[in-house]
Amino acid sequence: MEKTFLMVKPDGVQRNLIGEIVGRFERKGFQLVGAKLMLISNELAEQHYGEHKERPFFGELVDFITSGPVFAMVWEGENVIAAARQMMGATNPKDSQPGTIRGDFAVIVGKNIIHGSDSAASAEREIALFFKEEELLSYNKLINNWAY
């Protein structure tokens, strides 16, 4: 089954949105297979956002993502990578549709609440960056028979 890496960023944690965000993915029918509240080191932040190293906002991005606890998660489900990106909404909340997480809860691009892998390759890379294999669980829920 497809897996993706999702993370409630420090702004989402401070604004008490962990439950709201977890609830949306649960209600959709996806399955949580790993999660932890953690602080991101500078080194991990620079690795995670490596693709943006040359962008003018890179320093601010690293400062922001290391500024407080994040809630890191791995979710599993059919088409979960693309579906989660749709549920998150556009990167810049001024373009995010109402009904999406960023559309409903965020105002500016620098504080957009949630991270989600944007492809199969980045999902694999990001899951490995944040989780050890033994931190991810494989388990059956009977309710999945009503989603699939």
Site residues (vs ligand DAT, CB under 6 A): 52, 57, 61, 91, 109-110, 112, 115, 118
| C-alpha pair distances (Å), 148 with each of 4, 27, 36, 124, 144 | 18, 13, 27, 24, 6
User: Applying CB under 5 A, which part among 15-23, 34-42, 100-108, 116-124 lies near Mg ion?
Assistant: 116-124
Output helix, strand, coil percentages for the chain, rounded to the nearest 5.
Answer: 45, 20, 35
Q: Minimal distance in Å, beta carbon 148 to ligand DAT?
A: 27
Q: Is 27 marked as a binding-site residue?
A: no
Query: What is the phi-psi region of residue 99: left when phi exceeds 0, alpha when psi lies from -120 to 50, beta otherwise?
Result: left
What does 110 interact with, of Mg ion, ligand DAT, none (CB < 5 to 8 A by kind)?
A: ligand DAT
**Which residue's Cβ has the minimum distance to Mg ion?**
118
**Which residue's Cβ has the minimum distance to ligand DAT?**
91
What are the φ/ψ torsions at residue 107 (nearest 5 degrees)?
-120, -40
d(CA 92, CA 48): 19
**Which C-beta is closer to Mg ion: that of 18 or that of 109?**
109
Question: Which residues carry out catalysis?
Answer: 115
What does 91 interact with, of ligand DAT, Mg ion, none (CB < 5 to 8 A by kind)?
A: ligand DAT
